[in-house]
């Protein structure tokens, strides 16, 4: 691969491309870590145990660290430099890390999605939500298994991924990218839509419903980054063989997408950290009419609010339930 000349100025790496990666990497690393740490602190402050969704997001963060470490190694071994200027030993390391990203990145994204789904199943006890969570979780697991296997076996033999002179065959990169990202985008759309009906069916003020929906819709950012990353990946396949030079934008979006996904998964769990004092509470004392509606909610079709465990702000079983939105679970 490195023996073929590539058009361009090979005297210097593209410092602007490298700088964008160097800036994005620590920000994504720090913000995703802070989000998970604050989520765990919120559990501690509220005096509740860790749930399955908390453990899943911790696993996702570990894989996010794997992605970040991989990008650092790529920077050390030529990311942003023209491929003809990189020694073969560095190219070997570069493509080995690229090969490992074929399963590390999907695993990170899958555990983020599974954490969100576990939250839905815990917070919304309606049978329809439970069935939806099971179906979507199954789709996510099938996706990550399929994409990971395809990534590992993208070249046969595997070593051909970093030694292209070895006899064998590799799958078309554009086909792999579409297969990886399109299901990723579709499941993100589904995850965004799943809780909205239940949230808007809660017997609370419209402004509070809008705020609660807004927490979930923060995930729209993840969806946007999914699409941008796919466009960047397809663009690479059309730019010729200078992969080490052209791949920097994809590295930026890969770091950012996973971090935003983790942040979106954690935001709705941070309410206990920002509970204001009695004179400055965000949620006012419910009116008598609102209390009556909370105790006797109207019947709803589809998702039920009678048996919901939905309490995104962590107010159940706390000393603040008299002044906060709290929907009791069925007993």
How many beta carbons lie within 10 A of that of residue 137, not counting itself? 19
Q: Say if residues 161 and 99 touch (Cβ distance below 8 Å).
A: yes
What single-letter DSSP state applies at residue 160?
Answer: G
User: Is 314 a domain residue?
Assistant: no
Q: Domain total for the chain?
A: 1
Residue with tokens 């589809």: 302
pLDDT at 124: 83
Is 262 a residue whose pLDDT tops 70? Answer: yes
pLDDT at 272: 77
User: Is 312 a domain residue?
Assistant: no
| pLDDT (average), residues 165-189 | 91
Reduce the DSSP state of residue 296 to 3 states and report it: coil
For the ranges 199-203, 249-253, 275-279, the maximum mean pLDDT occurs at 249-253
Of the listed ranges 6-15, 258-267, 309-318, the least confidently predicted one is 309-318
What single-letter DSSP state applies at residue 168?
Answer: S
Task: Please provide the average confidence, as pLDDT, over all residues in the chain.
Answer: 78
User: Is 171 a domain residue?
Assistant: yes
Burial of 126 (0-12, 13-18, 19+ CB in 10 A): buried
User: Is 184 a domain residue?
Assistant: yes
Of the listed ranges 205-219, 237-251, 261-275, the least confidently predicted one is 205-219
Q: Using pLDDT thresholds of 50, 70 and 90, give the confidence band for residue 309.
A: very low
Residue with tokens 């990666």: 21
- The C-alpha angle with vertex 26 and arms to 75 and 147, in degrees rounded to 5, equals 65
User: Is 180 a domain residue?
Assistant: yes
Q: What domain range is 266 assigned to? A: 15-272
d(CA 51, CA 325): 21
Q: Using pLDDT thresholds of 50, 70 and 90, give the confidence band for residue 146.
A: very high
Of 98, 77, 236, whose CA–CA distance to 160 is shortest?
98
Of the listed ranges 8-22, 122-136, 228-242, the least confidently predicted one is 8-22
pLDDT tens digits, one per residue of 196-228? 777 777 676 665 566 566 666 677 888 888 888
Top-confidence residue, 312 or 196: 196
28: CATH: 1.20.1070
**Of all residues in the chain, what percent carry a pLDDT higher than 70?**
73
User: Is 323 a domain residue?
Assistant: no
User: Is 231 a domain residue?
Assistant: yes
For the ranges 116-125, 136-145, 222-231, 277-286, the maximum mean pLDDT occurs at 136-145
User: Is 305 a domain residue?
Assistant: no
pTM reported for the whole predicted model: 0.77
Is 260 a residue whose pLDDT tops 70? Answer: yes
211, 212, 215, 217: CA torsion to nearest 10:
-90
Q: Using pLDDT thresholds of 50, 70 and 90, give the confidence band for residue 164.
A: confident
pLDDT tens digits, one per residue of 32-79? 999 999 999 999 888 888 999 999 999 999 999 999 999 999 999 989
């Amino acid at each position: 691969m490195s023996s073929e000349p590539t058009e361009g100025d090979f005297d210097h790496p593209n410092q602007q491309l490298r700088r964008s990666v160097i800036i994005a990497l620590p920000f994504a690393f720090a913000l995703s870590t802070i989000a998970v740490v604050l989520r765990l602190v919120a559990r501690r402050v509220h005096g509740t145990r860790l749930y399955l969704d908390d453990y899943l997001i911790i696993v996702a963060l570990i894989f996010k660290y794997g992605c970040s470490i991989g990008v650092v190694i790529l920077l050390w071994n030529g990311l942003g430099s023209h491929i003809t200027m990189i020694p073969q030993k560095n190219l070997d390391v570069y493509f080995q890390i690229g090969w490992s990203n074929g399963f590390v990145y999907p695993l990170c994204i899958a555990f983020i999605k599974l954490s969100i789904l576990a939250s839905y199943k815990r917070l919304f006890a309606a049978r329809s939500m439970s069935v939806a969570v099971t179906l979507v979780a199954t789709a996510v697991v099938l996706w990550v298994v399929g994409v990971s296997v395809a990534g590992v076996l993208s070249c046969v033999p595997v070593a051909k991924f970093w030694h292209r002179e070895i006899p064998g065959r590799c799958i078309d990169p554009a086909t792999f990218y579409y297969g990886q990202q399109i299901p990723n985008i579709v499941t993100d759309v589904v995850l965004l839509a799943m809780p909205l009906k239940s949230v808007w069916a809660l017997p609370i003020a419209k402004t509070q419903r809008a705020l609660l929906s807004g927490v979930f819709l923060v995930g729209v950012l993840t969806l946007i980054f999914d699409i941008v990353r796919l466009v960047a990946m397809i663009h690479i396949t059309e730019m010729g063989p200078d992969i080490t030079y052209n791949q920097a934008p994809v590295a930026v979006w890969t770091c950012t997408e996973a971090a935003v996904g983790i942040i979106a998964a954690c935001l709705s769990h941070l309410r206990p950290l920002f509970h204001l004092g009695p004179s400055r509470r965000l949620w006012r004392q419910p009116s008598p009419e609102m209390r009556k509606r909370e105790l006797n909610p109207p019947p709803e079709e589809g998702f039920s609010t009678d048996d919901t465990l939905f309490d995104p702000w962590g107010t159940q079983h706390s000393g603040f339930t008299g002044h906060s939105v709290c929907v009791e679970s069925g007993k």
